[in-house]
Chain A
Amino acid sequence: MPIEFTLGLAAAIFSVGAAGVTFRRDPLVLFMCVEMMFNAANLALVGLSGYFGLLDGQTMVFLVLAVAAAEVAVGLAILIAIFRVRQDVDVDHVSELRG
Chain B
Amino acid sequence: MNGVISMNNLPGIYPDLVVLLGAFAVLALELLWPQKGSKTRVLYVSMAVLGLGLLGLGARSWGMPQEVFPGFLRVDGLSGMAKFILLGIGILTLAAGKSGSRNLGLDHAEYYALLLFALFGMMQLCGSVNFLGTFVDLETFSLAMYVLAGFNKRLAGNREAALKYFLPGAFAAAFFLFGLALVFGATGSVRYQDFVTAWQSPALREAQRALMLAGLGLMLAAFAFKVGLVPFHFWVPDVYEGASTPVSAFLSAGAKVAGMVALLRLVGLVADPLDFFQAGPSSYALGRVLLLLSVLTMMVGNLAALRQKSVKRMLAYSSVAHSGYALVGLVAVLGGHSPDGASALMAYVLVYVLMNFAAFGLVAALEAGWPQALLGRPPMLEDFNGLGFAKPVFGAALALAMFSMAGLPPTAGFTAKFFLFKSAVEAGQVGLVVVAVLNSVLSAAYYLRLVVHLYMRPAAREAGLPLFEGWGAWMTVFCALLLLFWGLLPQSLINLSQAATMGIWH
The answer to whether B185 has its CB under 8 Å from any CB of chain A is yes
A residues less than 8 Å from B136 (CB atoms) = 63, 67
A23 adjacent to chain B (CB < 8 Å): no
Minimum CB–CB distance for A12 against chain B, Å: 12
Question: CB distance A10 to B160 under 8 Å?
Answer: no
For the complex, what is the distance from the CA of A41 to the CA of B184, rounded to whole Å?
11
**0/1 per residue, A27-71, Cβ < 8 Å to B?**
100110010011011101100100010101100100110010011
The answer to whether the Cβ of B143 comes within 8 Å of any Cβ in the partner chain is yes
Q: Given A7-B185, A82-B163, A95-B238, are A75 and B177 also a contact pair (CB < 8 Å)?
A: no
Q: Which of A78-95 contact B (CB under 8 A)?
A: 78-79, 81-82, 85, 91, 94-95
Closest A residue to B242 by CB, please name it.
A97
Please report the C-alpha to C-alpha distance between residue A79 and residue B160 in the assembled complex, in whole angstroms. 9
B143 touches A71 (CB 8 A): yes
Which residues of A sit under 8 angstroms from B157, Cβ to Cβ? Answer: 96-97
Q: How far is B143's CA from A41's CA once the two chains are assembled, in angstroms?
A: 20
From residue B315, how far is it (CB to closest CB) to chain A in Å?
Answer: 14
- Measured between alpha carbons, how far is A18 from B147 in the docked complex, in Å? 24
With beta carbons under 8 angstroms apart, the residue of A14, A74, A96, A97 that contacts B143 is A74
Q: Would B237 and A41 count as touching, CB distance under 8 A?
A: no
Contact (Cβ within 8 A) A60 B132: yes
**CA distance in complex: A37, B153 (Å):** 31
Q: What is the CA–CA distance of A82 and B242 in the complex, to the nearest angstrom?
A: 13
Q: Are A82 and B159 in contact (CB under 8 A)?
A: yes
**Contact between chains at A40 and B178 (CB < 8 Å):** yes
Residue of B164, B174, B189, B242 near A56 (CB, 8 A) is B189
Q: Would B178 and A75 count as touching, CB distance under 8 A?
A: no
Interface size, chain A (Cβ < 8 Å): 42
The answer to whether B170 touches A34, judged by C-beta atoms less than 8 angstroms apart, is yes
Return chain B residues, CB-CB under 8 Å to A57.
Answer: 184
Q: A44 with B181: in contact, given A56-B190, A60-B190, A81-B159 (CB under 8 Å)?
A: yes
Instruction: Name the residue among B146, B178, B238 with the largest chain A CB count within 10 angstroms.
Output: B178
The answer to whether B143 touches A94 (Cβ under 8 A) is no
Are B171 and A21 neighbours in the complex by a CB distance under 8 Å?
A: yes
Query: Are B185 and A44 in contact, with the CB atoms below 8 A?
Result: yes
Q: Does B426 contact A (CB under 8 A)?
A: no
Q: Are B184 and A48 in contact (CB under 8 A)?
A: yes
Q: Which of B237-257 contact A (CB under 8 A)?
A: 237-238, 241-242
Pair A54/B178 contact, Cβ less than 8 Å: no
Mark out the residues of chain B between 124 and 160 whose CB falls within 8 Å of any chain A CB in the assembled complex. 132, 135-136, 139, 143, 146-147, 150, 153, 157, 159-160
- B122 contacts the other chain (Cβ, under 8 Å)? no
Does B167 count as interface, using CB distance less than 8 angstroms? Answer: yes
Q: Which residues of B contact A45 (CB under 8 A)?
A: 180-181, 184
Chain B residue nearest to A98 (CB atoms) is B238
A72 to chain B: closest residue by CB: B170
In the complex with contacts A67-B139, A74-B147, A97-B237, A41-B185 CB distance below 8 A: no
Query: Min CB distance, B86 to chain A, in Å?
Result: 22
What B residues does A71 contact at CB under 8 A? 139, 143, 170, 173
Flag if B167 contacts A27 (CB, 8 Å): yes
With a CB–CB cut-off of 8 A, which chain B residues contact A95? 160, 164, 238
List of B residues within 8 angstroms of A78 by Cβ: 146-147, 150, 159, 162-163, 166
Q: Is the Cβ of B146 less than 8 Å from the Cβ of A38?
A: no
Taking CB atoms, residues of chain A closer than 8 Å to B150 are 78, 81
Residue of B nearest to A93 (CB): B160
Tell me the complex Cα distance, A38–B180, Å. 11
A59 to chain B, nearest CB (A): 9
Interfacial chain A residues near B178, Cβ < 8 Å: 10, 14, 37, 40-41, 44
**Which one of B147, B150, B173 has the greatest number of beta carbons of chain A within 10 Å?**
B173
Beyond A21-B171, A78-B166, whether A70 also contacts B181 by CB under 8 A is no
Task: Tell me, in angstroms, the Cα distance from A63 to B175 when the chains sit together.
Answer: 17
With a cutoff of 8 Å between Cβ atoms, the chain A residues found around residue B166 in the complex are 74-75, 78
Pick the contact of B160 from A60, A67, A94 — CB < 8 Å?
A94
Distance in angstroms from B463 CB to nearest chain A CB is: 30
Chain B residues with CB below 8 A from A79, complex form: 163
| A82-B160 in contact (CB<8A) | yes
Take A56-B189, A71-B170 as given contacts and tell me if A41 and B146 are in contact as well, using a CB distance cutoff of 8 Å.
no
A63/B159 in contact, CB under 8 A: no
5 contacts between A and B (CB under 8 A): A56-B184, A74-B146, A96-B157, A96-B160, A97-B241
A-B pairs, 7 with minimum CB distance: A37-B174, A44-B181, A41-B177, A41-B178, A82-B159, A34-B170, A41-B181
A38-B173, A41-B180, A81-B162 given; 19 more Cβ-contact pairs under 8 Å: A17-B174, A21-B171, A27-B163, A42-B177, A44-B178, A44-B184, A48-B185, A52-B188, A60-B132, A60-B180, A63-B132, A67-B135, A71-B143, A71-B170, A74-B146, A75-B166, A75-B167, A81-B153, A91-B163
